Amino acid sequence: MKNAKKSFYYLLTTLLILTFIAPLAWALYNSVAPNPGTAQTDGFGFANYSTLANYGSGIWTYIGNSLAVSVVAVLAVLIATTTGGYAFARYNFKGKNASFLLVLSVMMVPYAALLIPLIVWMKDINMQNSLIGVGIILALFQLPFGTFMMRNAFSGVPRELEEAAMVDGCGPFRAFWKVAVPAVRPALVSVGLLTFLFAWNDFMVSLYLLSSDKAPLPLAMVNMRQQVMGVIDYGVTTAGVVVLTIPAMILFLSLQKYYVKGFTSGAVKG
Amino acid sequence: MVRKSPSGTEGQGLRERLAPPRRVPNAVKEHEDVRASRGHQGIVKGPSRSEVLGNRLGWTFVSPTLLIIALLFIAPIVLVFVMAATKWTLMGGQQDVNFPENFHKVFADPLLMDSAWFTLKYTFATTFIIMPIALGLAMLVQESRRWNNIIRTAILLPSALGIASSSLLFYALYSPQVGPLNSILAKLGLMEQNASLLGSPNGALWATVFLVVWRFSGYYMLLTMVGLQAIPPDVYEAAKIDGANRFQSFMNITLPLLKPTLAMTWIMSITGSLLAFDQFYVLTKGGPNNSTVTVVQLIYKYAFETKKDLGMAAALSVIVLVALVVINFFMLKSMGVNDEED
């Protein structure tokens, strides 16, 4: 009885692993496998990848665009959520609750609804078709979660640490920068990495706001597929998926510990 | 120690900071100033001064956040309402105010009801499939064991993919030429050989639902697991002593205690699905015959494809925005989720 149960458990879980991994494994395989009608016609090899590398203005342009957008988003999120989280955790200022609600209300508003005015508004503030602009917009959508997390993290840092620094003559900004920020490094890492993943994978915001020469990789991949409508090059498509996925997956796996912790602290508080 | 003004901490000279006072009387005075500047309720100093300083520093620290929100959140929200009341074309830019013309045009479009209905159907399908799966998976692998950790990671892996890239992946998987799913379904007799799964309205819907379930199950599993682990084990022990079987303790302990977590994940899934865009843009482009156009995709169509009319797109954005805020409000109320503030 017990044995039957155990083998059922292993059977079920193995099936589950296969279901979730198989599509990814298939993409990897298909990108190098012989595949009539694509660049990789005979034998295994990297022909799909070299087609991909030479697509449009060259794949490095698109990877560069993706990186630019992601780095801007991460920087903006880290600056805003550490300072903001610190303000909410440490200071009592007039309008604090209203400001905090305002940050959380970003979550309530569908971002699809913001993109139409942003097409016009970005032009008005001279940021049309700008990777930096898209990066900051992506940062906006990460603000609620990030601020919430940083606020909790700073609340967990004993006030005495900064007070001691200030007794030693630090100003409040130095105490913040030299004492409080280093103390919340795990939270910083997880907010930063989650933002990076979010920005790296963004499709919709760049579709609305960027022209095809400024396209980050996901948008470039979708554009590429559409340009060859009729004869869709699945080999190159899967190669693109692999290129898009590998950095994200490495980050995702390496930060697993952090975001599980992040979710946990959120859940306990919420 | 000479302080020039009550707000002296901010303008504190570099030399003073580099050479902090060590003598006892000075240190005490410094400490008082520090307390005041930290915005503590004045223990030594009067409350009014510390409040002023706390206010100023609080606002300074929160200003980067508020700047982003003002520029990229409040300004566009105001603008979307203005645009919705204005004739505003993609190429021609702003023209006259024509309220409520844009709304008339949106409501006159038969695609609006079709897309709203389709979006609801899709939301219903994904949420009712993902949530039980996520709960089941979470219960299956919540204990920290070596094998469980491997399974967890495997199930979580798809969450690393963007929706657009996972849609591209499934686009290839579903293709009649290279995709294995097509021939598997054909062998099972669920569809004709070489027919495109994405070519029929129903096929396209369920193909998309399958992709989304694959992509999101792990994510919701993780959230559910966190909720499960917050339930103290002694509650289960007590129930066991009272003679409850597994099913009974699931119904009477797990479900009720997991309610806040479940409510949160349901709301996230419902909201996310109501705003679906990437997966349909990549997989079906709204086809076949506009059978898979979601509401958000309709905004895109108005703006860039069929109408090239930003005014109409803004009007629909306003409708979506208001509808979602109302839906969220009622979901939060009915599911009894407390405000996120502690």
Question: What ipTM was reported for this prediction?
Answer: 0.91
Per-residue model confidence as pLDDT tens digits over A157-168: 998 888 889 888
Evaluate if residue A267 carries a pLDDT over 70: no
* Chain A positions in Cβ-Cβ contact with residue B153 (cut-off 8 Å): 253, 256
* Chain A positions in Cβ-Cβ contact with residue B168 (cut-off 8 Å): 221-222, 225, 237, 240-241
pLDDT of residue A260: 67
Across the range B188-193, mean pLDDT stands at 74
Quote the minimal CA–CA distance from B242 to chain A in Å.
24
pLDDT of residue A215: 94
Tell me which residue of A169, A173, A115 sits closest to A141, measured CA to CA.
A115
Evaluate if residue B14 carries a pLDDT over 60: no
* Chain B positions in Cβ-Cβ contact with residue A90 (cut-off 8 Å): 38-39, 58, 61
Evaluate if residue A142 carries a pLDDT over 60: yes
- Per the DSSP assignment, residues forming a β-bridge with B309 are B89
* Chain A positions in Cβ-Cβ contact with residue B278 (cut-off 8 Å): 203-204
pLDDT of residue B219: 92
Cβ contact B278–A203 (<8 Å): yes
Q: Tell me if chain A has a CB within 8 Å of the CB of B181.
A: no
Contact assessment for residue B14 and residue A170, using Cβ atoms and an 8 Å cutoff? no
Per the model's pLDDT, the better-predicted residue between A196 and B26 turns out to be A196
Q: Tell me if chain A has a CB within 8 Å of the CB of B170.
A: yes
Share of chain A above pLDDT 70, in %: 93
pLDDT of residue B336: 65
pLDDT of residue B271: 93
Per the model's pLDDT, the better-predicted residue between B177 and B285 turns out to be B285
Evaluate if residue B9 carries a pLDDT over 70: no
Distances (CA, A) of B18 to A151, A168, B14, B34, B222: 29, 9, 6, 16, 48
Task: Tell me the C-alpha distance between A224 and A235, whole Å.
Answer: 12
Helix (H) or strand (E) holding B89: strand B86-89
Per the model's pLDDT, the better-predicted residue between B321 and B143 turns out to be B321
Q: Tell me if chain B has a CB within 8 Å of the CB of A265.
A: no
**pLDDT band with cut points at 50, 70 and 90 for residue A263:** low
Chain B window 207-246: which residues touch A at a Cβ cutoff of 8 Å? 214, 217-218, 222-223, 226-227, 229-230
Q: Tell me if chain A has a CB within 8 Å of the CB of B89.
A: no
Mean pLDDT of chain A: 89
Task: Tell me the C-alpha distance between A133 and A131, whole Å.
Answer: 5
pLDDT of residue B51: 77
Across the range B259-275, mean pLDDT stands at 92
Q: What is the DSSP string of A155-186?
A: HTS-HHHHHHHHHTT--HHHHIIIIIHHHTHH
AA letter at B75: A
Contact assessment for residue B62 and residue A84, using Cβ atoms and an 8 Å cutoff? yes
Q: Which of B46-60, B136-150, B209-223 has the lowest mean pLDDT?
A: B46-60
pLDDT of residue A100: 95
Cβ contact A99–B328 (<8 Å): no
Cβ contact A84–B75 (<8 Å): no
pLDDT of residue A225: 80
Q: Tell me if chain B has a CB within 8 Å of the CB of A161.
A: no
Give the one of A171, A218, A248 whose C-beta lies nearest to B160's C-beta: A248
* Chain A positions in Cβ-Cβ contact with residue B57 (cut-off 8 Å): 87, 91, 93, 172
Per the model's pLDDT, the better-predicted residue between B75 and A227 turns out to be B75
Evaluate if residue A75 carries a pLDDT over 50: yes
Q: How many CB pairs below 8 A link A and B?
A: 310
Per the model's pLDDT, the better-predicted residue between A77 and A232 turns out to be A77
**pLDDT band with cut points at 50, 70 and 90 for residue A43:** confident
Cβ contact B214–A20 (<8 Å): yes
Find the closest chain A residue to B220 by CA distance: A263
pLDDT of residue B42: 40
Give the one of A137, A221, A248 whose C-beta lies nearest to B168's C-beta: A221
pLDDT of residue B170: 94
Cβ contact B162–A104 (<8 Å): no
* Chain A positions in Cβ-Cβ contact with residue B79 (cut-off 8 Å): 117, 120-121
Q: What share of chain A is helix, strand, coil (3-state, %, to 5)?
A: 80, 0, 20
pLDDT of residue B35: 47
Give the one of B38, B65, B165 whose C-beta lies nearest to A245's C-beta: B165
Q: Tell me if chain A has a CB within 8 Å of the CB of B141.
A: yes
B78-90 burial, b if ≥16 CB within 10 A, otherwise e?
A: ebbbbbbbbbbee
Greatest mean pLDDT among B186-200, B302-316, B327-341 lies in B302-316
Across the range B331-342, mean pLDDT stands at 63
Per-residue model confidence as pLDDT tens digits over B99-147: 899 999 999 999 999 999 999 999 999 999 999 999 999 999 888 788 8
Q: What share of chain B is helix, strand, coil (3-state, %, to 5)?
A: 70, 5, 25
Q: Which of B27-41, B61-75, B162-176, B217-231 has the lowest mean pLDDT?
A: B27-41
Cβ contact A13–B140 (<8 Å): yes
**pLDDT band with cut points at 50, 70 and 90 for residue A230:** low
Evaluate if residue A34 carries a pLDDT over 90: no
Give the one of B38, B177, B321 whose C-beta lies nearest to A37's C-beta: B177
pLDDT of residue B199: 86
Find the closest chain A residue to B212 by CA distance: A20
Q: Tell me if chain A has a CB within 8 Å of the CB of B187.
A: no
Mean pLDDT of chain B: 83
Task: Tell me the C-alpha distance between B94 and B83, whole Å.
Answer: 8
Interface probe, candidates A8, A15, A19, A20, chain B, greatest B C-beta count within 10 A: A20
Tell me which residue of B31, B101, B264, B242 sits closest to A266, measured CA to CA.
B264
Residue with token string 């090059």: A233
Q: Rounded to 5 degrees, what are φ and ψ at B74?
A: -70, -50
Entry pTM? 0.86
Across the range B283-305, mean pLDDT stands at 93
Find the closest chain A residue to B23 by CA distance: A168
* Chain B positions in Cβ-Cβ contact with residue A140 (cut-off 8 Å): 68-69, 72-73
Distances (CA, A) of A62 to A211, A221, A236, A244, B331: 12, 9, 15, 11, 40
**pLDDT band with cut points at 50, 70 and 90 for residue B20:** very low
pLDDT of residue B17: 43
Give the one of B51, B177, B227 whose C-beta lies nearest to A234's C-beta: B177
* Chain B positions in Cβ-Cβ contact with residue A180 (cut-off 8 Å): none
